[in-house]
Amino acid sequence: MFAKSAMTYEAVPLPSRPDVDDEASAREAEAFRARMSTRHSIRDFSDRPVPREVIETCLMTAGGAPSGANHQPWFFACVSDPALKARIREAAEKEEEAFYAGGGGDEWIKALEPLGTGVDKPHLTTAPWLIVIFAQRWGEFDDGSRYKNYYVPESVGIATGFLIAALHHAGLSTLTHTPNPMKFLNEVLGRPASEKPVMILTVGHAAEGATVPKASTIKKPLKDISGFW
């Protein structure tokens, strides 16, 4: 929550950060690329517990992401309670039934075939954590008056990327899940109308013998995702 009295400009020194030469920069870039290349979305989760402290630290990384006007328009609802996870799974699978029954359209459903997705979502109750990511369409000052948030989808997307990278760096696996519609998550988690659920991020350890779809290992080469001018 922001205080109106703090909404003024003041320059402060750049917080400390390592000053590296080109060689070290290239080495660090390659090390991070190699680490992230081992990230895969999985659906086979273990029920092995993950300490809350690990989740909290990764959320702090996500909270440091850039955002429009620095409004940080996100909320991460972290769910470990089995009963609550069961409610979320039940509601999500209900939406998935409608989607796969034709609500998603033939083209979309056909595009998902190589990934082997379906109505059943056992990961929602097996994995130790569900992080439901909400986008905050507006916020409130300390006096209760509203303020508008800017570039909300972009800001939340960046923060989510930070979070997924942090969780992977901590040795955890994730799966992004976007049942459609997702309004039920506001009701289940008691979140206000100002927040729009964006996705459910399933978090935990991969189960022994976990697999991934072969199609998901095919990534576009650099020449197809970038250009230099």
Length of the chain, in residues: 229
Q: Collect all residues with Cβ–Cβ distance below 8 Å to 99 and sequence separation of at least 6.
A: 109, 179, 180
Kindly report, residue by residue over 6-25, the tens digit of the pLDDT.
Answer: 778 999 999 888 889 999 99
Residue 79 CB partners (closer than 8 Å, separation 6+): 85, 88, 129, 130, 131, 132, 189
Higher pLDDT, 92 or 109: 92
Residue 120: the pLDDT is 94
Report the C-alpha gap between 89 and 96 in whole angstroms: 10
pLDDT single digits (tens) 143-165: 888 999 999 999 999 999 999 99
37-48 mean pLDDT = 97
- What is the mean pLDDT of the segment spanning 96-117? 88
Mean of pLDDT over the chain: 94
* pLDDT per residue as tens digits for the range 181-203: 899 999 999 999 999 999 999 99
Q: Return the pLDDT at 138.
A: 93
For residue 152 the two structure tokens come to 């909300």
Percent of the chain surpassing pLDDT 90: 79
Count CA atoms closer than 13 A to 62's CA, side-chain side: 26
Q: In terms of pLDDT, which residue wins out, 175 or 142?
A: 175
Residue located via tokens 């273990």: 46
CA dihedral 40, 218, 153, 9 (to 10 degrees): 80
23 vs 180: CA distance, rounded Å: 46
Q: In angstroms, what is the C-alpha Rg of the chain?
A: 20
Q: How far apart are the first and last CA of the chain?
A: 42
CATH H-level, domain 42-225: superfamily = NADH Oxidase (3.40.109.10)
CA dihedral 50, 55, 58, 64 (to 10 degrees): 180
Q: How far apart are CA 119 and CA 131, in angstroms?
A: 20
pLDDT band at 32 (very low <50, low <70, confident <90, very high): very high
pLDDT, tens digit (0-9, with 9 covering 90-100), for 70-102: 999 999 999 999 999 999 999 999 999 988 888
Q: Does 1 have pLDDT greater than 60?
A: no
At CA 157, angle to CA 155 and CA 163, rounded to 5? Answer: 105
The mean per-residue pLDDT over the stretch 208-218 comes to: 95
Per-residue pLDDT at 2: 67
CA dist., res. 1 & res. 145, Å (int): 11
Q: Is the dihedral of CA 28, 57, 185, 81 positive or negative?
A: positive
